[in-house]
Structure 1
Amino acid sequence: RWTFDPVLARNAHFNFSSLGAEGIAFVPDYYDRPGTDRILVEWALERAEDPFRDLRGATPPPLTESEWGRVRTTTLARADGSEIEGAWLAVPAAAPALSDDEEERASHDRLRTRVREALTGLFAAGHVLVACTRIDPTTAAYLAVARPEREETR
């Protein structure tokens, strides 16, 4: 298991899309301090196959900076021809720079709050995160899909 900051899309892409991790939980204030929210990931090493392999390369819709922290639901085609409901969560493609400017800090805090609320809702609805894809130089998106029924909540 591993954790990382949900607004670090580059780290998310590496864990999900390159290493095949699954985001299994959202942990607010992981270090008991504001601004330390984390996504908990794990690798299902006991599985013979990755049930999300065909989804990890899915193309997100054209989300923009104005949609950071917002969820857009979608239907995705599976490799076997079936369909699965999913949700894309838009986030910054690059880590926002920390600033001493009060307005910029407030904007960053609002973004973190929107991402927190979105992730809390996705995990409460029984989703796992399976990919994070860069859309353009400013925006990336997480892909959330329903947790396979045969799995227990960890």
Structure 2
Amino acid sequence: MNVPPAPRAPDASAETSAETLVAAYRVALAAADAAAVSVRAARPEDLPAVVALFERTWGAGRSPDASLLRALDHAGNTVLVATSDADAAPAFVGAALGFLGWTGGIHLHSHMTAVAPGLRGGGVGYALKLFQRAVCLEHGVDEMRWTFDPLIRRNAHFNLVKLGAEVTDFHPDFYGRLDDAISGSDRSDRFEVRWRLDSRRVRAALAGSPRPQWSSAEPTRDGLPAPEPLRLDPDFERLRDDAPDAAARQRTDSRVVFAEAFSRGLRPELAGDSWVFTSRPADPA
């Protein structure tokens, strides 16, 4: 992967120190070892396997084709693969795609991360994200962003608790109707998160340090009570399959809560199994 140094935003911090960069690759390699995978930049001959893994996850025709992935990689974006260390002939078990953006400052938009069925929840996605982080820091990019469905609890936990990302925006029906293998006909509501790659919040999350205690009971800037905590279903995807009417009601109800919170300048944080809404900064001293 030929990745030139990314242009810096006018207000960007100083170049990443050698110590920070070594630490970033160290934690990425440790995560890969724990998941029994190797993570690296994709090679041209890997791209059909990347397409196959993305389509296995989201459905036929839901992946960028190999030529587009090749162009993105050549232009200096992250196209990563994870291969299993378990067999003599390594199998492709994970892939990630991210591309540079500049809205609100230079960042990497981490668009797609796929893990082979049967290995999800085993640390492969974590290893891919940490490798993306290290590559970004190496090339002077200190922020990543992506979107996720705010009703899927395991993704909320992964993004905010395990990685230390922070929610910055709510986008109702962000992609329109997807009709893919994951979302089906459900509305594509999304939270956008910002992952400030060397922030105190992120370093604490990666170290497994205790999180702040977030609560909707705290005073808000406007002096009005925050919305009540919004409890997340343990498996919203299963609920969507087994009880679509109940899932649709949760989607509609959550939209009202999120819209009110963001209109008042409140941020969502995950507290146990619920979203709570606060005026406190995401990275308090």
Q: Contact (CA 8 Å) 1:22, 1:43: kept in 2 or not?
A: yes
Following TM superposition, the consecutive aligned residue runs of length 4 or more in structure 1 with deviations greater than 4 angstroms are 51-55
Q: Which amino acid aligns with 2:159?
A: N
Q: Structure 2: which 5+ residue stretches go unaligned? A: 1-144, 178-185, 220-225
Distance 2:165 2:235 in 1: 20
Distance 1:120 1:86 in 2: 10
Query: In the superposition, relative to structure 1, how do residues 16 and 25 fare at CA in structure 2: closer, same or farther (>3 Å)?
Result: same
Match of 2:201 in 1: 50
- Matched residue pairs, number? 118
Of residues 161, 173, 178 in structure 2, which corresponds to 1:29? Answer: 173
Of residues 8, 18, 23 in structure 1, which corresponds to 2:162? Answer: 18
Q: Contact (CA 8 Å) 1:74, 1:86: kept in 2 or not?
A: no
1:20-99 correspondence runs (5 A) = 20-33=164-177, 35-45=187-197, 47=199, 49-50=200-201, 56=211, 58=213, 73-75=216-218, 88-97=229-238, 98-99=240-241
TM-score using structure 1 length: 0.62
Q: When you count helix as a share of all residues, which structure comes out higher?
A: 2
TM-score using structure 2 length: 0.36
Structure with larger Rg: 2
Deviations 1:83-134 (A, max 9, x none): xx896321212224233x7xx322211110011111111111112223352x
Distance 1:132 1:26 in 2: 18
Deviations 1:53-101 (A, max 9, x none): 89835377xxxxxxxxxxxx3139xxxxxxxx896321212224233x7
Q: When you count strand as a share of all residues, which structure comes out higher?
A: 1
Q: Structure 1: which 5+ residue stretches go unaligned? A: 61-72, 77-84, 134-139, 149-154
Q: Contact (CA 8 Å) 2:214, 2:278: kept in 1 or not?
A: no
Q: Contact (CA 8 Å) 1:75, 1:86: kept in 2 or not?
A: no
* Superposition RMSD in Å: 3.2
